[in-house]
Amino acid sequence: MNNKIDKKTVKKGLLPYLFLFIIMLGAFYILKIGNKVVNDLSYDEFIDNLDKGNITELQVVARGSGYTYEVSGSLSSYKDNESFESTLPLSEEVMKKIVKASDEQEFKLTVKPDPDSSSLLLILVNVLPIVLLVGGAFWFFNKQLAGNRSSLDFGKSRARLNSDDNKVTFKDVAGLKEEKEEVKELIDFLKNPKRFQKLGARIPKGVLLVGPPGTGKTLLAKAVAGEANVPFYFISGSDFVELFVGVGASRVRDMFQQAKRNAPCLIFIEEIDAVGRQRGTGLGGGHDEREQTLNQLLTEMDGFGANEGIIIIAATNRPDVLDPALLRPGRFDRQVTVNLPDVRGREEILEVHARNKILANGITLQNLAKRTPGFSGADLENLLNEAALLAVRRNKNEITMSEIDEATDRVLMGPAKVSRKYSENDRKLVAYHEAGHAVIGIKLRNASDVQKVTIIPRGSAGGYNMMVPTEEKLCSTKTDLLEEITGLLGGRTAEEITFGEITTGAHNDFEKATKIARAMVTEYGMSDLGPLQFEQPSGSVFLGRDYNKPQHFSNEVANEIDMEMRKIIDDCHKKAHEIINKNKSLLKLIAETLLEYETLTKEQIDYLVENGKMPDEDENNLESLSITKLRELAKEKGIKNYSKMNKAELLKELDV
């Protein structure tokens, strides 16, 4: 591919020079002709000069079609750029006279045949126009037919055959141990189908991969095809549906016909919910074209026709919207749930994506995996890539923990808004708000570990507190949820106790706390109302299931639900008040340190809680220094307006 690109680039680069050379050559030729002087001699003048012996050179061209001789040459009295031309009658006497004079006067005589009598020229003049006309007409009609053929290709399948260049195997898929075991049967069947048929076993016709975005569903399907070494067709669900009626169903038929010719093979349908949604749902009824496509897909998967050797793998993160007929045994016989990876799975995924990256000494993937709960495989790949980009931008030869911390923040919250200016009063409010979250996290036994606290704005937040569970749990207890709500209310509580005033900065905390409290009452049965489920997680209105959904409880019960939610929030708020009132000195210590350093890591927070001060500063690592120390260094270097700069601006001025 690179060679082709290089050749094309070289040709394009030579074209201007070639064009310039042709222009210069033409100009030189025109100038050369323009310097020549050609005199027309009559027949009598030519004979007179021939008799007097004035001719030094002569060329004779016989024009058979015009019955004349055309002669040209030069006279003894002419200059170097001067010549003559003349037309003579076509007679034998004239030619004898010219030959006799040439013998006597010994001038150079050249006789040329008639150029019009050339057979090649005759072909070019008479045949070439006809050839060009016929060829042009043939090209025009052929192009028109090709256009008509492409317009008739709407019904052809858009499924593409995966090439060996992009071959993926199970070595490239990490963190999906159970999921890989589930699909290994497909590989065994494709390699040795007789082994299964011997005992009357039927391999699943379809496997549906279900899970959140970025968990590796597409990668797993590619690995199945790579391990089985069979043709692998992949297509998106949206490729079936077109403007024209019947196109989607036609493409489904054509796709299965291609697959039958290459059986055994795999068909992978990405985002099958685009074509496999439930029929007859939605506020405006069903979509006829999409439903026809789905009907054809259902028929091909388990109809009267046999599709032996064809296995369909589909992926979706919306299994709730799929048509029940698509999920029944005989079509998608097996559903494989691809969940977010646990800490061990994240470590394996990081090992795969860290193969070509240079990490600094002291960075272990195990610790990095513990710091990233809830990250998908795509998030982890993006995390390491962002860290590598930051290291290159900072002219480093390896990826350090500083780049990984910044990359984590970028993935979660977006880039830092270091240029955003806000008053010292706002900085103090944000510092005490985030310190309130940190104090609750430190003092509650079942609360999450505080990994990082910062007052640098990111996204729409003025600061944030990163808290990671001490251990990953499959289920959350009532105590866990209550302490999580208490931690969310810690920021507002710190504002109330410190300033006697409240701000709008806790609106996102309230949103999360209210959602947890309502779920505890209406879904989990964790209230005085007992083990009853009053609500279910809301679905999509446009599926036609939750529009005007009836309420299955009375107004009195609705009031009790509101009262229970209020009770949960009030109890957690009181507990947050108690904890922060008992630890005002710790709250002030963390807040004042945040104002000085802007960002605190878990190690710094642990040292601060244990010793009441920050670790000794390392002047070789400017990023770990306080704002006061950075301003002193900026003053020594003569940087102007250093007293008005924040930490990010100071680091930039100090070339960090």
- The residues carrying an active-site annotation are 434
Distance CA 349, CA 195 (A): 34
Q: Which helix (H) or strand (E) holds 335?
A: strand 334-337
Q: What is the 3-state secondary structure (H, E, C) of 489-556?
A: CHHHHHHHHHHCCCCHHHHHHHHHHHHHHHHHHHCCCCCCCCCCCCCCCCCCHHHCCCCCCCCCCCHH
Backbone phi, then psi, for 583, in 5-degree steps?
-125, 40
Tokens at residue 592, please? 């004042």
Distance CA 325, CA 319 (A): 13
Distance CA 69, CA 87 (A): 6
Closest CA to 567 of 605, 532, 528, 534: 528
Closest CA to 369 of 356, 358, 384, 355: 384
Q: What is the 3-state secondary structure (H, E, C) of 16-58?
A: HHHHHHHHHHHHHHHHHHHCCEEEECCHHHHHHHHHHCCEEEE
Closest CA to 49 of 67, 22, 14, 75: 75
Angle between helices 43-52 and 92-105 (to 10 degrees): 30
494 with 582: CB under 8 angstroms?
Answer: no
SS3 content of the chain, % helix, strand, coil (to 5): 55, 15, 30
Backbone phi, then psi, for 84, in 5-degree steps?
-130, 160
Tokens at residue 206, please? 């379809």
Residue with tokens 């024009």: 63
User: Burial level of 84, CB count in 10 A (0-12/13-18/19+)?
Assistant: buried
Coil/strand/helix, residue 251: helix
Distance CA 573, CA 497 (A): 12
Closest CA to 175 of 381, 361, 467: 381
Tokens at residue 253, please? 């038929």
Backbone phi, then psi, for 25, in 5-degree steps?
-65, -45
Question: Residue 53, by phi and psi: left (phi above 0), alpha (psi -120 to 50) or beta?
Answer: left
Closest CA to 527 of 536, 518, 535, 537: 518
Q: Which helix (H) or strand (E) holds 334?
A: strand 334-337
Cis peptide before 264 (omega within 30 of 0): yes
Residue with tokens 């105590």: 479
Closest CA to 522 of 488, 464, 568: 568
Alpha carbon distances (Å) from 217 to 212, 325, 331, 334, 414: 9, 22, 19, 14, 26
Q: Which helix (H) or strand (E) holds 268?
A: strand 265-270
